[in-house]
Structure 1
């Protein structure tokens, strides 16, 4: 059996996944909101947040903040820690529900230096600059207390 890697697609997914972490980090830092859902395709994706209302200028503020983090060229590093040690770190779960199964003994952490540390098993680019420009394509109201943010990468 043979396999082949689609490098263009994989790189696009890595950029998108990293961009969603930047967005999640910015919204958590600036608004205290947790992620309640997500989805991604190459160069586009969405995050849902537990925000009761949209603060004034929300779309412009998160666009500016996310792209400032991209321009900062923050390193994106991966490490693994024993479960107890990982969960001793503050805020490594940025989702409203902890999705790390109870039987996982070693937790993989993705660290966007100075912005976001989360338990995560996905692939990422090496630094935020590799993400490229993040466009907030749309912000939607998905019901009481839930806002959806759609992104596209350029």
Structure 2
């Protein structure tokens, strides 16, 4: 009879073990920043699809009741509204929105003027980078406070 090696293999000893703990909740400021970044991504995709001449729709799940009385989730399209429009001077103006509120980029000014449609996607990507870097945190916080006040009534 042959016996197996008497030395146990130490797989766990090859791992780097730490005493790290998972954070219970994210910073609310980071969550708001991520929410706006997701909406900016939607606007970028909408602008790209309009430039290509295609339709862009997001989908969401909605709970519906069958005639049998059973509830099930179905995927339904959700329209994405553009945050930009054409001005009288034939230029584009772009608002940044947090919920239903426009964000003031600088004091008293909430729109970005864009010379042509070809500059729309790069402008949206630049704003998204600024959001992710935290440059608009104060404005997002102000819009979030106004949004919460609307629910408190």
The higher radius of gyration belongs to: 2
Same fold at TM > 0.5: no
Greater length-normalized contact order (CA 8 Å, ≥ 6 residues apart): 1
Structure ranking higher in strand proportion: 1
Structure ranking higher in helix proportion: 2
Q: TM-score, normalised by structure 1?
A: 0.31
